[in-house]
């Protein structure tokens, strides 16, 4: 059967072999688009399913954000001044072995002042019978003036909030490509990938996130926490980043949602 996409409004549900895998949520009732929750083959959560959690409420499954864009906060739920990412055109295409969702958005202030245009592409495929791959491409274009991304810990741009059962402070854990283990060995460190995993009802589940060699200042540094956040963040650890009007920044990542076992070192981008 493979992948099947079902669009309702601006949201796109992604089905794999007849069961729900995830939803690309673009509805304006949320401050920014996100993908989630993400579900294993038996319906177990890979990512935190509660979309209105009081603890770090902005960390909705797989999300995009930067806490300082010309002083505007596009990371936190109630940032001051608050930045909003508003989806416009949403396209869903393909099925079977591969499916794609494209989202065009504007990064804007609470009163509508535009900062950036965004193109986001999710591409879904099966890396194996026990691993679903999501290639995520993000293009941020400074169409409205010069942009400064500040030196902020509150950033990715990619952020992933894992399910509570995978959290390192609740029995799960993570490693990186350089041999680091959990927050003590991975936070602030540069690495090609991080792999967060845990055991749920006797079954091992994990999420491996890969930085792309073409991304700025590759390999990325990681803002990754024992409480369940995994974010690729050069801005805090390597300094801010600037775009002149008309320039863009392109980020590409691969996410692998795996069951039973997975070897990131054997994975190729």
pLDDT in tens, 101-129: 999 999 999 999 999 999 999 999 999 99
pTM for this structure?
0.97
Instruction: Measure the CA–CA gap between 220 and 92, rounded to whole angstroms.
Output: 30
Instruction: Measure the CA–CA gap between 238 and 91, rounded to whole angstroms.
Output: 35
pLDDT beyond 90 at 136: yes
Domain boundaries, the chain: 3-266
Please state which CATH class domain 3-266 belongs to. Answer: mainly beta
Helix, strand, or coil here: 186?
helix
Q: Determine phi and psi for 247, rounding to 5 degrees.
A: -85, 160
- The DSSP call for residue 237 is H
Does residue 71 come out as left (phi exceeding 0), alpha (psi in the -120 to 50 range) or beta? left
Residue range 41-70: mean pLDDT, rounded: 96
C-alpha distance across the termini of the chain, in Å: 25
% of the chain surpassing 70 pLDDT: 100
Residue of higher predicted confidence among 206 and 268? 206
Helix, strand, or coil here: 61?
coil
84 neighbors 32 (Cβ within 8 angstroms)? yes
1 neighbors 18 (Cβ within 8 angstroms)? yes
For residue 177, the model assigns a pLDDT of 98
Q: What's the sign of the alpha-carbon dihedral 137, 143, 146, 151? A: negative
189 neighbors 260 (Cβ within 8 angstroms)? no
pLDDT, tens digit, for every residue of 201-240? 899 999 999 999 999 999 999 999 999 999 999 999 999 9
Q: Determine phi and psi for 240, rounding to 5 degrees.
A: -65, 180
pLDDT, tens digit, for every residue of 7-48? 999 999 999 999 999 999 999 999 999 999 999 999 999 999
pLDDT band at 196 (very low <50, low <70, confident <90, very high): very high
For residue 268, the model assigns a pLDDT of 86
Q: How far is CA 206 from the centre of its chain?
A: 15
Q: What's the sign of the alpha-carbon dihedral 22, 79, 190, 212? A: positive
- Can you give the length of the chain in residues? 269
Residue range 241-265: mean pLDDT, rounded: 97
For residue 213, the model assigns a pLDDT of 98
pLDDT beyond 90 at 158: yes
Residue 53 structure tokens: 């959690």
> Closest Cα partner for 67 from 188, 128, 149, 172?
149
pLDDT band at 245 (very low <50, low <70, confident <90, very high): very high
């Amino acid at each position: 059967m493979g992948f099947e996409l079902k669009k309702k409004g601006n949201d796109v549900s992604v089905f794999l072999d007849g069961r729900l895998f995830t939803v690309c949520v673009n509805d304006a009732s949320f401050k920014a688009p996100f993908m989630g929750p993400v579900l294993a083959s038996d319906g177990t959560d890979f990512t935190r399913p509660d979309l209105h959690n009081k603890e770090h409420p902005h960390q909705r499954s797989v999300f995009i954000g930067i806490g300082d864009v010309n002083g505007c906060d596009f990371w936190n739920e109630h940032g001051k001044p608050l930045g909003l990412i508003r989806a416009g055109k949403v396209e869903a295409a393909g099925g079977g072995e591969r499916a794609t969702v494209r989202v065009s958005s504007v990064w804007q202030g609470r009163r509508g002042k535009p900062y950036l245009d965004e193109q986001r592409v999710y591409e879904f495929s099966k890396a194996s019978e026990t691993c679903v791959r999501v290639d995520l491409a993000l293009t941020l274009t400074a169409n409205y003036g010069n942009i400064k991304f500040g030196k902020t810990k509150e950033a990715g741009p990619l952020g992933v909030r894992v399910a509570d059962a995978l959290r390192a402070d609740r029995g799960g854990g993570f490693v990186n490509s350089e041999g680091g283990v959990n927050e003590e060995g991975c936070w602030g460190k540069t690495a090609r990938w991080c792999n967060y995993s845990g055991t749920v009802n006797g079954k091992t589940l994990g999420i491996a996130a890969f930085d792309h060699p073409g991304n700025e200042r590759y390999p990325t540094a990681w803002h990754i926490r024992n409480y369940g956040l995994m974010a690729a963040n050069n801005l805090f650890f390597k300094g801010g980043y600037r775009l002149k009007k008309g320039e863009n920044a392109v980020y590409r990542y691969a996410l692998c949602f795996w069951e039973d076992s997975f070897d990131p070192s054997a994975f190729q981008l």
